[in-house]
Amino acid sequence: MRADVALQMLGDLFWTGLLVCAPVLGLTMLVGVLISVLQVVTQVQEMSLTFVPKLVVAAVTLVVFGPWMLRTLSAFSVRLWTGIPAMLS
C-alpha cells in the first residue's frame, strides 16, 4: 500500500467520524451551554440539572439522526471494502 492511499483512507476515516458524531456533540454542547447560562443567572448549582437535559438531548438526537449515521457509516465501509482490490494492484 502506498503512503498516499493510506493517508487518503485516514483522512476519509476522520472526516466520516467527524460527520457522524457532529450532531450529537453539537446539540449536547449547545444544551450544556444554555443550561450553564441558566445556572449562572439563577445561581442554582445542581449537577443533575446539567446532566439530565444533555442525556435527553443526546438520546433524541441519536433517534432522529441514527438512520443517517448508519447510512453514512455503511457507505464508508462499503467504499473501504470495494476499494481493497484497487489498493493491492
DSSP 43: T
Burial class for 20, CB neighbours closer than 10 Å (0-12, 13-18, 19+): middle
**Per-residue pLDDT reduced to its tens digit, 28-60:** 999 999 999 998 898 888 877 888 999 999 999
For range 2-13, the mean pLDDT: 86
How many domains does the chain divide into?
Answer: 1
Grid cell at residue 19:
460527520
Q: Which residues form the domain of 14?
A: 3-88
pLDDT digit string, tens, across residues 70-86: 999 999 999 989 988 87
What's the pTM value of the predicted model, to 2 decimals?
Answer: 0.80
**Residue written as cell 476519509?**
12
- The predicted pLDDT at position 50 comes to 84
